[in-house]
Structure formats: C-alpha cells, structure tokens
Amino acid sequence: MADRPMHKRSWLLLVLVLLVWSYFARPVYDFAWIVSGRLYDMAAARIGSPTLRMKRQDVVDRALAQGDEIAAYLRALRDAVPRVAASPALDFSSIEAFSRSAQASRARLSQSLRYPPPGFDVPLTQPVVESAIGADEFATYRELKIPVLPGVYATGIYMRPKSADDQKKLPLVISAAGRGGMPAETPDGLLKGMGKSRRNLAWDALQHGYAVWMPTYVHYGRDGDDFRDRLTVRAWEAGTSLPAIEIAKTVKALDVLLKRPDIDPQRVAMMGHSYGGFYTLYTTALDPRIRVAVVAAYFNDREAVLDSSEPNGFLDWRYPDALTLWRDPSVAALVAPRPLLIEAGNQDPLFPIQGARKAAPEAAALYQRLGIGDRFEFREFVGRHDFDGEAAMAFIDRQLGGGAARD
C-alpha cells in the first residue's frame, strides 16, 4: 500500500516530463516535417513529367517581359493624360475673379496632397515654448517649439537683426533651407553659426533688416535618406503625406508668428532652396498670407526630374496628380497674383537648367494673362545647386518695401 503514492508520483512526473518535452520538441517536429516536404518535392521534380521544367532564368525572363508590358501600358496611360499649366477652374478674366476661383483650385491641390493632415483642426492645449539661444554681431536668436498636431511640433529659429529696435514691427522672411542648407560644420562638430554662404538663407534677410523664421524640416535620418522615405510611406498609409505635415507645420508657425507684436503680419515673404524651394512653392500656393515667394534650385520640368531619379528618388513628390494637374507651373499659378521669383543655377546637376527654361515660360504666361507679368521673374545665375541671396532680397525689397535697415 505504501508503494501506491510513489507509483502515482512517478506517473505524474512522467506526464510532466512528456509535456515539457513536447513543448520544446515541437519546433523539432515542425522542422522535420518541412524538411521531409522539401525532400518529397525534390524527388517529385526529378521523377515527374518534364513538361513544365525550365531554368530559373527562363522564369525570370518571362516575369521581366510581363513587367515591360505593364511599364509600357502605364507610360501610355500617363502620356494620354493632358498636362495643364493651370487648373480649369481658374478664372483669368480679372485679378479679383482669379483670386476667388483660386480657392477651388487650392482645395483640389490639398486633396492631391492629402492636406491638411488628420488632427490639424483639433485645438491643441500645449503652449508655445520659446527659448533664448544667444546673440552675435548680426542678430538675436530664439528657438520656438510650436504645437501643430498631436505630438508633433514646428520647431525652428526666430532671428531678429541687431540693427532693429526690439519693439519695431519687422517684415518676416521664412527661410526654408534644403538638404545641406545649414551653416558648415567645424572640426569639433559644431556649426560655424551665422555667416555669408550661398546656401545660408538667413544671412541676406538679416542684413536687409528682416526678421527671419528658419523652420526645421525632416531631411535626413541617422541611417540616411531611407528615413524620409519610410515616413513618406507611413504618411500615405495613415491617409496623409509627409509634405502635408511639413506644410502644416509652417502654417501653424505663421499662426503664432504673425501674432507677435514685433512682426508686421502684412509683410511676409518665403524663400527656399532645393527641398526648401519645394516647400516654399507649395506653402505659398496654399497660404495667401505669404505675400511674395522666391524659389531657388527647384522649379523645373518635374516629369523629367522624377523620371531621371527613378526608381526611388523624391518619393514624397510622387503624389496623386503630381505630373498631370500639379506640375510646377500649375502650382505657381496658385501663387499668383502674388509676386514670384524663380532662381536657377546654370550648372545645377540635380535640376538641370534646361528644365527650368522649359517650365518658367509657362508660369510667366499665366501672370501675363492676368496683366501682371512684372510680378513674375525667372533668373539664371552662374552656379550649381546654389542660391543667390542678394538677388532674392532685392526682389523681396521691391515687393515689401524693405526691412528695418531700409526704412
């Protein structure tokens, strides 16, 4: 009788061991089943009918041929859609009629861009955070962190020239830098700070007595450009676009900046280089509070630029209707009747001058139809993927009357 509890414990121990073994052995069983299936497939392929046997390269060639057919089909579809220089909804009978009709075209552009992003119209309770950075002989610098979307902020540097009185209302220039547009780095890894550079969009504006807002855009990740492409795809999946989010950041920043007592809300310009030129063109097209725009090293034959950058270049610019309704002259039409300057370096390797020479006359013709041809300028300069700040500020001065230094 005394052995019976021991016998029972042995059975329990055996069951426990089997359960543990089955738990750890299951992957072994599964792997063995997969291997046996592969062996069966190999044997069946060797002894089965040779009718459908073919070399792997033959299979690849068949797939490539199908891909070529699809590519030709898509090219024909794209070529069949007429390219327009301006939305059919625009009324060119007068500047007033044009301005009214532009509202519908802006709504159509917003639809293509999926702008505004979800949450844009939700009131946010977070405060604007303003931090003093410092000052030098040129300007004072403050960093602003402005709530835009849930958990998303517009950050940037607000600068005021030392030549201006602290209480004076200054005209504002939004300086949109492109990739590589920040000041150069020193050997110790620090930025050189404010200085004259063909890619420093704040320098000339400060010298002309303007307040400057330099927004921060997403250009690089720690692992390279793929970071931006991943954000682009995630934005599409979420029902918006990365450009829509970046434009929303500038629009919300303007909401805050134009309420400052030291800013003249009626005199606002935006200028941008490269990717900043893209944001300048589109933000100005969508927000009439920007009274004048300068687009450098971007405006071009958009179809040629995107085709030459395939397969992955400028992924965020490949939004719906980008090459049919919204080539660069079509977006420029929504800047009108406000003044617009296009700058292009004649040796630019990224945006060839031939493309700018092709697109600029289309935009100029739209301004001429409104009888305001003098408000559009296309300027070539000797340079590569650069920015001519003096020419840009001369144009802005003429339109806005100059900054504090010119009063």
Residue pLDDT, tens place only, 284-300: 999 999 999 999 999 99
C-alpha–C-alpha distance, residues 105 and 103, integer Å:
5
Nearest Cα to Cα of residue 402 among 163, 144, 140: 163
Q: Which residue has the tokens 């504090």?
A: 404
Nearest Cα to Cα of residue 370 among 91, 70, 30: 91
Does 318 or 312 have the greater pLDDT score?
Answer: 318
pLDDT reading at 219 higher than 90: no
Mean pLDDT, range 209-223, rounded to an integer: 85
Nearest Cα to Cα of residue 109 among 286, 336, 338, 295: 286
Check: CB of residue 362 under 8 Å from CB of residue 395: no
C-alpha–C-alpha distance, residues 296 and 284, integer Å:
14
Q: Note the pLDDT tens digit of each residue in 3-34.
A: 556 666 777 777 777 777 777 777 777 777 77
What are the start-end ranges of the H helices in 313-388?
328-333, 353-369
Cα–Cα distance list, 334 to 27, 87, 213 (Å) = 62, 9, 23
The pLDDT assigned to 270 comes to 98
The pLDDT assigned to 404 comes to 67
Of the CA atoms within 13 Å of residue 11, those in its CB half-sphere come to 5
pLDDT reading at 41 higher than 60: yes
Enumerate the β-bridge partners of residue 268: 172
Mean pLDDT, range 161-165, rounded to an integer: 85
Over the range 1-37, which residues count as b (16 or more CB within 10 Å of their CB) and which as e? Answer: eeeeeeeeeeeeeeeeeeeeeeeeeeeeeeeeeeeee
Check: CB of residue 173 under 8 Å from CB of residue 213: yes
pLDDT reading at 197 higher than 60: no
The pLDDT assigned to 190 comes to 47
What is the Rg, in whole angstroms, of the alpha carbon atoms belonging to the chain? 30
pLDDT reading at 191 higher than 50: no
| Residues 6 or more apart whose Cβ sits within 8 Å of residue 221 | 227, 228, 230
Q: What is the band of 407 on the pLDDT scale with cuts at 50, 70, 90? A: very low
| Residues 6 or more apart whose Cβ sits within 8 Å of residue 308 | none
pLDDT reading at 168 higher than 50: yes
Mean pLDDT, range 97-107, rounded to an integer: 94
Amino acid at 139: A
Burial classification of residue 307, based on how many CB atoms lie within 10 Å of its CB (0-12 exposed, 13-18 middle, 19 or more buried):
exposed
The fraction of the chain above a pLDDT of 90, given in percent, is 53
C-alpha–C-alpha distance, residues 252 and 357, integer Å:
34
CA 220 from centroid of its chain's CA atoms: 11
Check: CB of residue 269 under 8 Å from CB of residue 176: no
Check: CB of residue 262 under 8 Å from CB of residue 140: no
What are the start-end ranges of the H helices in 287-335?
302-308, 328-333
Burial classification of residue 128, based on how many CB atoms lie within 10 Å of its CB (0-12 exposed, 13-18 middle, 19 or more buried):
middle
pLDDT reading at 184 higher than 50: no
The pLDDT assigned to 406 comes to 46
- DSSP-based three-state secondary structure for 138: coil
Dihedral of alpha carbons 383, 389, 394, 396, sign: positive
Tokens of 385: 């993927």
